[in-house]
């Protein structure tokens, strides 16, 4: 695949995940909606990573701040970077037994709705710069 095809792959799959996040939220699976929101941001950052580096294969990491930094981006302010770090936690907290149930209880409709709003805002900011 060409560099452009790799970037397009990451964009398309991130859009799919953003859409899926909303559907999962509407189904009342709030913890999983945030997990998929993390995936959407991870993939749009991987599109940037491919576009801004010599390599076409981004690292197999899930840390959003690391991906952002390695993509040589300067789009986000400090508060947005703190939120990226928080969203990175959604990936871990929804997977492992020692944190899964505490995260599940934290993910009320109101909590999740606010986080999804911010995920969508960050996504749009990152998406328009590709």
Which has more confidence, 1 or 99? 1
- Which region holds residue 72: left if phi is over 0, alpha if psi is between -120 and 50, else beta? left
What are the C-alpha distances in Å from 10 to residues 57, 60, 123?
11, 13, 13
What confidence tier does 93 reach under pLDDT thresholds 50, 70, 90?
A: low
Task: Give the C-alpha separation, 70 to 73, whole Å.
Answer: 8
- When mean pLDDT is compared across 10-14, 52-56, 99-103, the lowest value belongs to 99-103
Q: Any residues with CB less than 8 A from the CB of 116 and at least 6 apart, and which? A: 21, 22, 25, 33, 34, 37
Over residues 29-79, the pLDDT tens digits come to 999 999 999 999 999 999 999 999 998 899 999 999 999 999 999 999 999
- The answer to whether 24 touches 32, Cβ cutoff 8 Å, is yes
What does the longest C-alpha to C-alpha distance in the chain come to?
44
Q: What is the pLDDT of residue 56?
A: 87
Token readout for 72 is 């040589």
3-state SS, one letter per residue, for 29-54: CHHHHHHHHHHHHHHHHHHHHHHHCC
Retrieve residue 116's tokens.
């999804």
pLDDT tens profile 76-91 = 999 999 999 999 999 8
Higher-pLDDT residue of 82 and 97 is: 82
Please report, for the domain that includes residue 55, its CATH number: 1.20.120.330
- The total of structural domains in the chain comes to 1
Q: Give residue 66's domain range.
A: 3-127
């Amino acid at each position: 695949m060409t560099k452009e095809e790799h970037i397009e792959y990451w964009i398309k799959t991130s859009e799919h995940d953003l859409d899926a996040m909303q559907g999962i939220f509407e189904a009342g699976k709030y913890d999983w909606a945030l997990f998929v929101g993390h995936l959407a941001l991870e993939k749009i950052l991987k599109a940037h990573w491919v576009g801004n580096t010599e390599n076409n294969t981004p690292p197999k990491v899930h840390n959003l701040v690391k991906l952002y930094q390695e993509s040589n981006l300067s789009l986000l302010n400090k508060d947005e970077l703190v939120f990226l770090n928080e969203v990175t936690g959604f990936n871990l907290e929804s997977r492992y037994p020692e944190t899964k149930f505490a995260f599940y209880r934290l993910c009320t409709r109101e909590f999740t709705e606010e986080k999804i709003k911010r995920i969508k805002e960050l996504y749009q900011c990152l998406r328009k710069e590709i």
